[in-house]
Amino acid sequence: MDRYEPEQIEPKWQRVWADARAFNVPNPEPGAEDEKRWYQLEMLPYPSAKSLHMGHVFNYTMGDVVTHYHRRNGARVLRPMGWDAFGLPAENAAIREGGHPRDITEASIVLIREQMQRLGWAIDWDREVSSHDPRFYKWTQWLFLRFFERDLAYRRAAPVNWCPNDQTVVANEYVVDGHCERCGALIELRNMTQWFFKTTAYADELREYELPPGGEWPERTKTIQRNWIGRSEGAEILFRVDELDRDIPVFTTRPDTLFGATFFVMAPEHPFVDEYASEAAKEYAKHAGARRAEDRAAEEEKTGVFTGHYATNPVNGEKLPIWVADYVLMDYGTGAIMAVPAHDERDGEFARTFDLPVRTVINEDGVLVDSGEFTGTLANEAKTAIVDWLHKQGRGAPAVSFRLRDWSFSRQRYWGAPIPIIYCDACGVVPVPDEDLPVLLPDVDDYLPKGKAPLASNEEWLHVDCPKCGGPATREADTMDTFVDSSWYFIRYVDPTNDEAPFGRDVVDYWMPVSQYIGGIDHATGHLLYSRFFVKALNDMGMLGFREPFARLYHQGWITMGGTKMSKTKGNLVGPDELVEEYGADAVRLYIMFMGPGDQDKEWSDSGIEGTVRFLRRLWRLVHEVAEQAPTDGEPGPLTRKTHQTIARVSDDIARRFQFHTPISALMELVHALAEDPAAPDARFAAETAVSLIQPYAPHIAEELWQALGHERLWEQPWPVADATALEEETFELVVQVNGKVRDRFEVGVDLSEDELVALALASERVQAHLNGAQVRKTIVVPRKLVNIVVG
RNA sequence: GCCGGGGUGGCGGAACUGGUCAGACGCGCCCGACUUAAAAUCGGGUGCCUUCGGGCAUGCGGGUUCGAGUCCCGCCCCCGGCACCA
C-alpha cells in the first residue's frame, strides 16, 4: 500500500475530470423535459489582487458538496463561476501601483482560477463569465436600454451620497451609519444629476416572495428587506396656500390627527421653498440641504425658519404657518408634512423649540376630541372616516409610502460599464442604438478621480455624432455601479455565449430560478434586492418566465480573524495555498466543512486540521486493508446496519437540513466501526459506502480509494440509498426510568407489547431498589424507547 | 425603542418532531504502547462535586409535564436589521 500523498493524487484526478469534462454541463436539447435539474450558485468573487481567502473556500466548498450530491442523485446540475471584475479596488490599485485596472484584474483572475482548480471544485468552466468582458457588458448595456425605454432607468437631480474618498456617488444601500460601506469614509450629501433605477416601482412586489414550490428564504433576510422597503399606509392630503393659489400635498399615517395640526413643515429641498419662501428661509434651506443626513439627525435642537406663507387645513380651514426644517426629508412621502405636535414626538419637539401651539385631539381612550364632526369617533375608525370625507371634497385620498428609494447607479469613476447614452443639444437624451453596442470602455491615460468621470476627459471618445440627428453630441461619461453587473450575471451563466441576446428565454426558463444560492447576508438590501428587482422587471418585459431569481437562499457565516470578518478591506486574509500545499485540498475542504454549522461565524484557526488529516490517513489505510482482506461477496453483518444508518444521516443532513459538519461526524463513526474488523464479511460494503459518501467533501481521495476497491468514475456513480429494511432493528435498548430518572437499561425485542415492557421494567433489580416497595401510580411507555415508572 | 437571531465542557460543536443517566464527532490536555530518543502512529481517559451511595449541571428565575437544552412566562447578556421615514 502506498502512503497517502495528496500532492500526487489531487493533480492527477483534477486532470482526469478535466479530460472527461466531468463537470461541464451542456444545456438540454429543446423540448427535453422530465429531468431533474439543479442550479447551484454561490455569489461570484471579486477578483482582487490578492487571492481567495478561507471565507471563499468555505462558501464554495459548501456549494461543491451540494453540487456533487445532486449530480449523483441524478440531476443535471449547473454550477458556474465568474468574476465581478469591474469596480474600485482594481482601479485604486492601478492608481496606487501603476498599470491598468484591466491588467490587474485579469492577472488576479488567472491566479484565483488556478486556486479554485487546485481545490478541485466541480465547476463548469465553459460557462465562465466576467463582467468586464465586452461580450458581457454589451448585454449589461443592452438591458439598461430596455429599462430606460420603460422609464425604469431615468436621470434626475437629487441629493445623493457622495464618497469624498472614492470620489463617486454611493447607493443608499451601501451607506452604513453614514459611512461608505466600501472604504469607510464619511458620506456627504450632494445635489447631483444621477441615473436611477426605479426600484420603487416594485416596492410592493419586493415585499412579497413569489418563490417556486420548495423555495425558501431565511426569515431574517426577508425581515431585513421588508424593513428596508418600509411600507406605511396612510393618506395624501392637499393643503392649500390661498395667497399663491397652490396646493401642497402631504403624506401622513395619522389622518385621524388632522384636527391637531398646528403648523406645516417642508424639507429644505422642497421646490416651494426655492420659489416662494422668504429670503431667511431660503438661506436656511441652502445650508441645511448641504449637510449630511447623519448630522441633521444627530443635532440636539430642531432647527427651522418660517417661510412667510400659510397653508389651509382642508378639514377646518385653519391657516397653518409653513416652516422649512431639516427634520423633514425631501425624498420621503411628499417632502412636506402637517405637523401635529400633540401626537408626534418630532413635531412636539419642534413646537417646543419655536413655541408653537399644541392641540390634543385624541384622549387616553383613543377617542377623538376637539375634532369637529369626528369628535367621539375611535381613532382607528376616524382614519378612514376622515380620509373618506377628504376624498369627497377632492382634498385627499388613501396613500402608501415607502422608505425604499430608487437605486442610484451612475458612478463618476472609470472601471465600469459605460452607460450607453448620448446627449445631443438638439435631441436631448438619446439612447445608443442596440446595433452600436457595446459602448466600449476606452483606455484612458489618467483615471485619477476628480469629482467627475475620468471618461469625460477623453475628448476623442466623448464626442460623437448624435444617432438621431447626426449633429454634435457627447457621451454619458459616468459608468455603471458594479451591482448592475451582478444583478443579472446569474442569468448569463445559463447562456453565456449567446451573441444574439443576453440570454435565450427557453434555456433560462429551463434552468432558473437558481435552485440554491449561497452568499453573505451583507447583501440583503443591496445585491439581493437589486437582483429581485431586475428579475421582476425582466419578467414584466416578457424576457423570462419567473418572478424571483433565487428559489432557496442560504447565508454562510463569516470566517473571522481577530473577531472581524475576513475581507480584503480589513486586510485580515488567510489564503488556502499553504494549507493545500501542506495537507492537500481534500483535507482543507473537509476541515473547513467540519468547523461548524454553515450559517455561524467562525474564528479562523488551523489548529484542528491535523485531526482531519489523521482521519483521511486512517480512511486511506483502512480502505486498503479492506481491499486486501475483506471478502468480495460477504454477507450482511453488524456493520451493515451502521452503514445504512450513515447513508441516511449523511443524505438527510445534506439534502434536507443543509448541514455539512454532522455528516463528517457520522462518517468518522462509520470509519471507527469499520476499523474494528477490516476483514469482516460486510467490511467491503462499509468501506465502499464510506468512500462514496465522502466524495462530495474529499473528491480526490475518494476517487483514488474507489479505484483501490476495484471501481471507476466515482463522480458519476449514483448516490448510495439507505435500505429501510436494513435500518430496522430487532432489538432496542429499553430505558427504564423511575420518576423520570434513568435507573436501568437493557436490550429487548422490538415486538414486545407495552405490558410486556412494563413487566420487564418492573422485574429489574435496579428498578426495584429505587421503587423501595412504593406504590406504582402510573407507567408511561414510549414505543421503542423507554418505560417510565411513576411512584409515590 | 421596534423587529429578527442566539447563549450547551478548556475550545469548535452534537442532541433533527419534549423521551437513551446531555455532551456525538473533532481539537486540546493527561496517561500508556511502539522508539535509544523524538515525530508519526496506535490504545485508554477527560463536564463539575463526591463521604463512591450518589448529587449537581445546557445564561438567570419561575412554570407546564411522568419526563424540558428542546414548550410557556419574566429577566440578563451577545449578534444583526431599522430608527427625525411623518
Q: Nucleotide B81: nearest residue by CA–C1'?
A: A224
A24-51 pLDDT, tens digit each: 999 988 766 667 899 999 999 999 767 8
pLDDT for A589 equals: 96
**A460-466, long-range: CB within 8 Å, 24+ apart, which pairs?**
A464/A422, A466/A422, A466/A424, A466/A426, A466/A427, A466/A430
* Nucleotide B48 C1' to residue A788 CA (A): 27
pLDDT for A565 equals: 77
Kind of pairing between the strands at A559-561 and A564-565 = antiparallel
Task: Grade residue A747 by pLDDT with cuts at 50, 70 and 90.
Answer: confident
Kind of pairing between the strands at A37-42 and A731-738 = unpaired
* Rounded average pLDDT over A660-665: 94
What percent of the residues of chain A are helix, what percent strand, and what percent coil, each to the nearest 5? 40, 20, 40
Task: Grade residue A149 by pLDDT with cuts at 50, 70 and 90.
Answer: very high
- Which nucleotide across the nucleic acid strands is nearest to A299, CA versus C1'? B84
- Which nucleotide across the nucleic acid strands is nearest to A266, CA versus C1'? B86
* Nucleotide B13 C1' to residue A57 CA (A): 20
Describe the strand order of the beta sheet including A786-791 as a list of residue ranges.
A741-749, A731-738, A786-791, A776-782
pLDDT for A790 equals: 83
- Which nucleotide across the nucleic acid strands is nearest to A742, CA versus C1'? B21
Q: Nucleotide B86: nearest residue by CA–C1'?
A: A252
* Nucleotide B52 C1' to residue A712 CA (A): 57
Q: Residue A533 above 80 pLDDT?
A: yes
Between CA A394 and CA A400, with CA A399 as vertex, the angle to 5 degrees is 170
* Rounded average pLDDT over A116-142: 97
Taking the C-alpha atoms of residue A40 and residue A78, their distance in angstroms, rounded to an integer, is 6
* Rounded average pLDDT over A103-126: 96
* Rounded average pLDDT over A519-546: 94
- Which nucleotide across the nucleic acid strands is nearest to A648, CA versus C1'? B16
Protein-proximal nucleotides of chain B (any atom < 7 Å from a CB): 3-5, 12-16, 19-21, 24-28, 40-43, 55, 66-68, 80-86
* Rounded average pLDDT over A290-305: 72
- Secondary structure element (H or E) that encloses residue A107, with its range: helix A101-118
Are A206 and A532 contacting, i.e. CB atoms less than 8 angstroms apart?
A: yes
Which DSSP state fits A250? E
For the ranges A29-43, A142-156, A165-179, the one whose mean pLDDT is highest: A142-156
Q: Residue A298 above 70 pLDDT?
A: no
Torsion, Cα A501 A505 A507 A509, to 10 degrees, reads 150
Q: How far is CA A119 from CA A6, A360, A697, in A?
A: 11, 69, 11
A150 compared with A606, residue with greater pLDDT: A150
* Rounded average pLDDT over A770-792: 79
Contacts of A703 (CB under 8 A, 6+ apart): A9, A13, A16, A695, A714, A715
A552-600 pLDDT, tens digit each: 999 998 888 877 777 766 677 888 999 999 999 999 999 999 998 888 8
pLDDT for A569 equals: 65
A323-345 pLDDT, tens digit each: 999 899 888 999 999 999 999 98
Q: Nucleotide B16: nearest residue by CA–C1'?
A: A657
Q: Residue A724 above 70 pLDDT?
A: yes
- Which nucleotide across the nucleic acid strands is nearest to A769, CA versus C1'? B53
- Which nucleotide across the nucleic acid strands is nearest to A223, CA versus C1'? B4
- Which nucleotide across the nucleic acid strands is nearest to A524, CA versus C1'? B81
Taking the C-alpha atoms of residue A23 and residue A715, their distance in angstroms, rounded to an integer, is 9
* Nucleotide B2 C1' to residue A553 CA (A): 26
Are A327 and A342 contacting, i.e. CB atoms less than 8 angstroms apart?
A: no
For helices A527-540 and A134-149, the axis angle rounded to 10 degrees is: 60
- Which nucleotide across the nucleic acid strands is nearest to A296, CA versus C1'? B84
pLDDT for A254 equals: 92
* Rounded average pLDDT over A372-379: 92
Task: Grade residue A293 by pLDDT with cuts at 50, 70 and 90.
Answer: low
* Nucleotide B51 C1' to residue A770 CA (A): 21
Q: Residue A158 above 90 pLDDT?
A: no
A733 compared with A105, residue with greater pLDDT: A105
* Nucleotide B52 C1' to residue A769 CA (A): 18
- Which nucleotide across the nucleic acid strands is nearest to A600, CA versus C1'? B6
* Nucleotide B17 C1' to residue A656 CA (A): 14
* Nucleotide B72 C1' to residue A425 CA (A): 71
Taking the C-alpha atoms of residue A128 and residue A173, their distance in angstroms, rounded to an integer, is 28
Q: Nucleotide B79: nearest residue by CA–C1'?
A: A601
- Which nucleotide across the nucleic acid strands is nearest to A782, CA versus C1'? B19
Burial class (CB in 10 A: 0-12, 13-18, 19+), A269: buried
* Nucleotide B38 C1' to residue A6 CA (A): 25
pLDDT for A292 equals: 62
The percentage of chain A sitting over the pLDDT mark of 70, rounded to a whole number, equals 97
A190-227 pLDDT, tens digit each: 888 999 999 999 999 999 898 998 888 888 888 889 88
The percentage of chain A sitting over the pLDDT mark of 90, rounded to a whole number, equals 63
Q: Residue A629 above 70 pLDDT?
A: yes
Query: Bridge partners of A119?
Result: none
* Nucleotide B73 C1' to residue A790 CA (A): 27
pLDDT for A291 equals: 66
Q: For residue A64, give the amino acid letter.
A: D
A385-422 pLDDT, tens digit each: 999 999 999 999 999 999 999 999 999 999 999 999 99
Q: Residue A178 above 80 pLDDT?
A: no
Contacts of A252 (CB under 8 A, 6+ apart): A234, A235, A237, A258, A337, A338
* Nucleotide B36 C1' to residue A119 CA (A): 42
pLDDT for A740 equals: 77
A305-322 pLDDT, tens digit each: 999 999 999 999 999 999
Q: How many other β-carbons are positioned within 10 Å of the β-carbon of residue A242? A: 12
* Nucleotide B16 C1' to residue A616 CA (A): 27
Taking the C-alpha atoms of residue A361 and residue A357, their distance in angstroms, rounded to an integer, is 13
A231-279 pLDDT, tens digit each: 888 999 999 999 999 999 999 999 999 999 999 999 998 999 989 999 9
Torsional sign, CA A405, A411, A417, A419: positive
